[in-house]
Amino acid sequence: MSFKDEFELLLRARYPVLYVATLEEERVEASIARSAKEQGNRGLYVWDFVDGYQSNPTDEGMARRNPLQALEQIEKLPASAPAVFVLRDFHRFLDDISISRKLRNLARRLKSQPKNIVVLAPSINIPDDLSEVMTVLEFALPTAPEIRSEIDRLLAASRRSLSDRTLDELVRSCQGLSMERIRRVLARAIAIHGELKADDVDLILEEKRQTIRQTQILEFYPATENISDIGGLDNLKDWLLRRGGAFGDRARQYGLPHPRGLLLVGIQGTGKSLTAKAIAHHWHLPLLRLDVGRLFGGLVGESESRTRQMIQVAEALAPCVLWIDEIDKAFSGINGQGDSGTTSRVFGTFVTWLSEKNSPVFVVATANNISALPPEMLRKGRFDEIFFVGLPSQAERQEIFSVHLSRLRPHNLKSYDLDRLAYETPDFSGAEIEQSIVEAMHIGFSQNRDFTTEDILEAASQIVPLARTAREQIQMLQEWAMSGKARLASRNSSLNRRIQGQLHGD
């Protein structure tokens, strides 16, 4: 249900006090004004702390700097007169006992009158004693048709036109921004070029990065990695390649649902984060990185509000990839945390969204410790698939060496003995292989020559792989993967061969 439909329904149902959480004050007030006019031509009264009541000439300036008087003014209107009272930033006064008591008294009276109070606030912050009185509505960011309408208006004003393809690109790039920011960045583009052009997508993306940075929750992450940069993990890469076109209109016409996401579980340094970046780049989708720790705030209700804001921004930017790194650390032991249940509520909101979301937000979550994840996270329906990313086999280690050396020494790749390098580095992860190459480069650079296979092997001999220092944890992960609770990301891994051996009774 749209905001307009839900708001008008609550007006007709005589919900006395509505709380609208939005940063788009001007846009939501315009929507409220239209609904008030359509619902019996109700009077509209707008108040703020600095200017008092403003929309009615007879009440101009009334209750300036006096929030209690602003509520008392509502009682003075005849009981039969239909009206909507918009109170800007009124959430700042809700903790005051006189304001709280007056609102509860008004709520009783307004149930039988065609009047509604609308509190406008940038976030949800409702005291416990008013939770039964207020009904919360969230005002979504502009939809694609609304953005297209705004761009058409600007084009008409400048007497310009765009091709349908360019217009679609501009609309898609603007999704996730407030209408005020859209107008600002489009005005900036017109000021630079004298018109709107396809190149202005870069300006819009920069504005989008600014918006996401200001949320301090999501990070707009540049993704330049390719699927070919991932060494090994053939099963996982095949799975991703098959779903490359699943976000297009053709897939919708075919009846395919949007892909939901992946949970990548495995040993540190095996390419889970690299895979998340490569997915976004290969599918040509924006990559948003979520630091779950930033969801938690110190104020009551702030963490839940930030979680909803994160979901709203991610869905507005859809189709996109939402990358959550080391999710096991964020939600480990949620039942035993002494934070008055905040972590549990945030987790509940998040996993419910994972199950019920219809928007094309592809979630890629990575985890190193499967035992730390709540069982609810692993339930079917949260993700399309759970993949186990284990240590690379010898063939995969050779491929990983080839990927790194092709990037660093493309003209000299044949001088390196890839077979020997792969053979001499058992139990090495992809990150440890990369580190051995970097260390070899330091050896060669310090001696004013290029680094060699021998340098890499010398560097590798100084590295104690995680497979040896965390043997028990890795063994537990492998046993979990062998139990059939996850698909193997690698086709030729030693673990895969062990599982096949068990299936055939070897």
Q: How far is CA 37 from CA 59, 84, 86, 115, 238, in A?
A: 19, 10, 14, 13, 56
Where is mean pLDDT largest: 176-180, 234-238, 262-266, 437-441?
437-441
**In which region does residue 94 sit, left (phi positive, over 0), alpha (psi from -120 to 50) or beta (all else)?**
alpha
Same domain, 349 and 260: yes
Measured distance CA(408)–CA(412) in Å, rounded? 9
Same domain, 198 and 281: no
* Residue 357 covered by a domain: yes
pLDDT at 125 over 80: yes
Percent of the chain exceeding pLDDT 70 equals 94
* Residue 472 covered by a domain: no
What pLDDT, on the 0 to 100 scale, is given for residue 496? 55
Residue 490's closest CA among 264, 321, 223?
Answer: 264
Same domain, 385 and 400: no
Same domain, 148 and 134: no
Same domain, 253 and 373: yes
Same domain, 338 and 243: yes
Residue 22's closest CA among 7, 1, 12?
Answer: 7
Instruction: Find out whether 208 and 304 touch, Cβ atoms under 8 Å.
Output: no
* Residue 500 covered by a domain: no
Instruction: Find out whether 360 and 316 touch, Cβ atoms under 8 Å.
Output: no
What's the alpha-carbon Rg for the chain, to the nearest Å? 29
Which CATH number does the domain housing residue 105 bear? 3.40.50.300
Last residue of a domain, one of 114, 138, 162: 138
Which CATH number does the domain housing residue 434 bear? 1.10.8.60
Q: What is the mean pLDDT of residues 76-99?
A: 94
What pTM value is reported for the model?
0.70
Handedness of CA 144, 149, 155, 157 (dihedral sign): negative
Last residue of a domain, one of 122, 138, 154: 138
Mean pLDDT of the chain: 86
pLDDT in tens, 182-220: 888 888 888 887 778 777 777 887 777 777 777 778 888
pLDDT at 413 over 60: yes
Same domain, 59 and 116: yes
Same domain, 357 and 399: no
Same domain, 263 and 321: yes
Same domain, 247 and 385: yes
Handedness of CA 409, 414, 418, 421 (dihedral sign): negative
What pLDDT, on the 0 to 100 scale, is given for residue 219? 86
Which range, of 271-280, 432-441, 451-460, averages the lowest pLDDT? 271-280
Residue 270's closest CA among 173, 368, 192, 416?
Answer: 368
* Residue 487 covered by a domain: no
Last residue of a domain, one of 103, 119, 138: 138
Q: What is the mean pLDDT of residues 305-327?
A: 84
* Residue 503 covered by a domain: no
* Residue 264 covered by a domain: yes
Helix ranges restricted to H, 224-326? 234-242, 249-254, 272-282, 302-317
pLDDT confidence tier of residue 35, bands split at 50, 70 and 90: very high
pLDDT at 402 over 80: yes
Same domain, 127 and 150: no
* Residue 129 covered by a domain: yes
- Structural domains of the chain, count: 4
Residue 12's closest CA among 103, 84, 77, 74?
Answer: 84
SS3 state of residue 380: coil
* Residue 476 covered by a domain: no
Burial class (CB in 10 A: 0-12, 13-18, 19+), 147: buried
Same domain, 271 and 376: yes
Domain that holds residue 385: 227-389
What pLDDT, on the 0 to 100 scale, is given for residue 335? 58
Residue 239's closest CA among 272, 266, 261?
Answer: 261
